[in-house]
Structure 1
Amino acid sequence: MHIPDGYLSPETCVVTYAIVVPLWFYGFKRLKEKLNEETLPIVSALSALSFIIMMFNIPIPGGTSAHAVGAVAIAILFGPWVGFVSVSLVLLIQAVVFGDGGISTWAMNSLSMGFVGSFVGYYVFNMLKKYKFAPFVAGYIGIVCSAAFVGLILGIQPIFWTSNGHPEYFPFGLKVALPAMIGAHLIIGFAEGILTQIVYSLLGKKTERLA
């Protein structure tokens, strides 16, 4: 799901940074409110888990990839802002150190995997909280929505940025990008859902006590 440099127009990158930078500032504020000597090790461990599982990429036609994220697990335990910021920091390290994703697309990747995934998963979980498998459903829906958002942004690139009939950036339109991203993550979503369910079953009671 990481979008590399060069796949989005400069205009798209500028707009996503303009949207995400204020969200980062507010998210860091919320993160600082949550962190203490008891919560810091848990958030750090879950961020490390997110880092590891995102390194297992399955290529998708067009140059991006499918993988689990782990954002929803963090979001339902500590809140969506913590999930968003944690995944954003993981994505920055992956982009700088491993070249997974890009610097120009860091804001977009953070918006899709961090913000969309965390907030969708968090609210789905709270709607279904009384049911045993709410974490699984939240993780599944959260990552599919993240993938749909990536497919949408990639798919509009050739609509707006084409020169002499040739796409300047990502070459495939919505008819290819959306089914490719959503279809792959309808399968990957099971891994995300299972991960979220396991993490919540292990840590849910503990984090509720720390809240």
Structure 2
Amino acid sequence: MHMPDNYLSPATCGTMFALAAPVVGLSIKKVKVQLNEKKELAPMLGITSSLSFLMMMFNVPVPGGTTAHAVGGTLLAILVGPAAACLSVTVALILQAFLFGDGGILALGANIFNMACVMPFSGYFIYNFLRKHGHPSLGAISGSYIGINLAALFAGIELGIQPLIAHTANNQPLYNPYPLSVTVPAMMVAHLAVAGWIEAFFTYVVYRFVKQVAPQELYGSSSVEVSNTKKTNKLKKYFYYFIIVLLILTPLGLLADGTAFGEWSNSELLENLKQQHLANTLPKGMTHGLNYASPFSDYTIPGTPVSLGYILSGVSAIIIFIIIGKVLTTFYGRKK
């Protein structure tokens, strides 16, 4: 779901930034209020960003020979609220784009809108509705499953409308060449059949664990138990353990063959088009677009084995997220 640059037209990229900006802006305002009320949220922002980042590194094979991954948007919303989840996923996506080349720079608006806006807010709405009607576990499962599939649907539509809105006088696509009849089914099959269930599994397992260990720490919890510093610290310690385990297991994400639909490099896309007898050249807009060279493209560290580079990339990201959490903790701790 990490769309690279040059798959979307400049107009689409601008529109998606315009749609994502107010959601992220309002989320920042909301989180500032939350931090003033509960400074313990600051380190949790670093933890949740780390969780989302690592979950997105676990690529799994899906029908059609491509791959997909979980995001954790609804899980984060259940833990810290949809606004904080929006910011956590946004920070993870920005780091992925600029440092690791996972997702485009110009496409950031679309990726943020789909994964950091649509997913946490829609997923939490479903979870909260069912929670209020006495079915919180069902809410966690269905909210996470539907949330990631809604995000995938938006991504499929954004890709699929390109041949309609950006083409030459001869109706040749300038950007993503595949129409809605291809992009929407491709995105939905991958997420309805595989990625959605992985997202739901992660969400349910972590939700049930937190509910047993420190239920009062769930966002919007109706637990009569007041916040307990000792239990909060214990929960954060468990999350750090969980992050370490995920980090060690991240190379498993390298086992999945193929590239996620709509995330191919120019050479991969051209090969696909030739094999499918659709074109012998890339769309013109894609050949003259932005070509940003990230320092650690595809989570590789020069001079290290691929699997070790994958782990070190995760370590680097986690350190950055924890530092952000520490800075926020210091700032809001002093304000208290």
TM-score exceeds 0.5? yes
What is residue 14 of structure 2 aligned with on the other side? 14
State the aligned residue count.
Answer: 209
Counterparts of 1:33 and 1:65, CA distance in 2: 39
What is residue 147 of structure 2 aligned with on the other side? 142
What is residue 245 of structure 2 aligned with on the other side? none
What secondary structure is seen at the aligned counterpart in 2 of 1:165? coil
Match of 1:106 among 108, 111, 122: 108
Distance 1:60 1:100, change over 3 A: farther
Counterparts of 1:14 and 1:41, CA distance in 2: 33
What is residue 193 of structure 1 aligned with on the other side? 200
Offset of 1:65 from its aligned partner?
A: 5.5
What is residue 94 of structure 1 aligned with on the other side? 96
Q: Tell me if the contact between 1:34 and 1:78 (Cα under 8 Å) persists in the aligned partners.
A: no
Q: Tell me if the contact between 2:48 and 2:85 (Cα under 8 Å) persists in the aligned partners.
A: no
Offset of 1:78 from its aligned partner?
A: 2.2
1:188 is aligned with what amino acid?
Answer: A
What is residue 325 of structure 2 aligned with on the other side? none
Matched, 1:167 2:177: no
What secondary structure is seen at the aligned counterpart in 2 of 1:68? coil
Match of 1:206 among 216, 219, 233: 216
CA deviation string 1:151-200 (max 9, x = no partner):
01111011111112321111101110000001100111111001111221
Q: Tell me if the contact between 1:83 and 1:114 (Cα under 8 Å) persists in the aligned partners.
A: yes
Distance 1:65 1:158, change over 3 A: farther
The worse-fitting range, judged by mean Cα deviation, of 38-47 and 132-141 is 38-47
What secondary structure is seen at the aligned counterpart in 1 of 2:202? helix
With structure 1 as the length reference, what TM-score do the two structures score?
A: 0.92
Counterparts of 1:4 and 1:61, CA distance in 2: 21
Counterparts of 2:144 and 2:188, CA distance in 1: 14
Offset of 1:203 from its aligned partner?
A: 2.4
CA deviation string 1:3-23 (max 9, x = no partner):
000010000011111222222
Counterparts of 1:199 and 1:59, CA distance in 2: 23
2:150 is aligned with what amino acid?
Answer: C
Distance 1:4 1:176, change over 3 A: same
Offset of 1:117 from its aligned partner?
A: 0.4
Matched, 1:179 2:189: no
Distance 1:134 1:117, change over 3 A: same
Match of 2:50 among 48, 51, 67: 48
**Bigger CA radius of gyration:** 2
1:146 is aligned with what amino acid?
Answer: A
Distance 1:104 1:74, change over 3 A: same
The RMSD of aligned alpha carbons is 2.0
What secondary structure is seen at the aligned counterpart in 2 of 1:201? helix
Q: Tell me if the contact between 1:2 and 1:65 (Cα under 8 Å) persists in the aligned partners.
A: no
Counterparts of 1:77 and 1:58, CA distance in 2: 25
CA deviation string 1:26-53 (max 9, x = no partner):
1111122223442222232121010011
Counterparts of 2:7 and 2:152, CA distance in 1: 16
Structure 1 regions of 5+ residues with no counterpart? none
What secondary structure is seen at the aligned counterpart in 2 of 1:104? coil
Identity of aligned residues (%): 42
1:140 is aligned with what amino acid?
Answer: Y
What is residue 34 of structure 1 aligned with on the other side? 34
Distance 1:13 1:59, change over 3 A: farther
What is residue 120 of structure 1 aligned with on the other side? 122
Counterparts of 1:125 and 1:20, CA distance in 2: 22
Q: Tell me if the contact between 2:73 and 2:85 (Cα under 8 Å) persists in the aligned partners.
A: yes
Offset of 1:86 from its aligned partner?
A: 1.1
Structure 2 regions of 5+ residues with no counterpart? 228-336
Offset of 1:59 from its aligned partner?
A: 7.3
What secondary structure is seen at the aligned counterpart in 2 of 1:56? coil
Offset of 1:58 from its aligned partner?
A: 4.7
CA deviation string 1:84-125 (max 9, x = no partner):
111111000000000000110111101001111011101110
With structure 2 as the length reference, what TM-score do the two structures score?
A: 0.59
Counterparts of 1:102 and 1:55, CA distance in 2: 16
Q: Tell me if the contact between 2:127 and 2:138 (Cα under 8 Å) persists in the aligned partners.
A: no
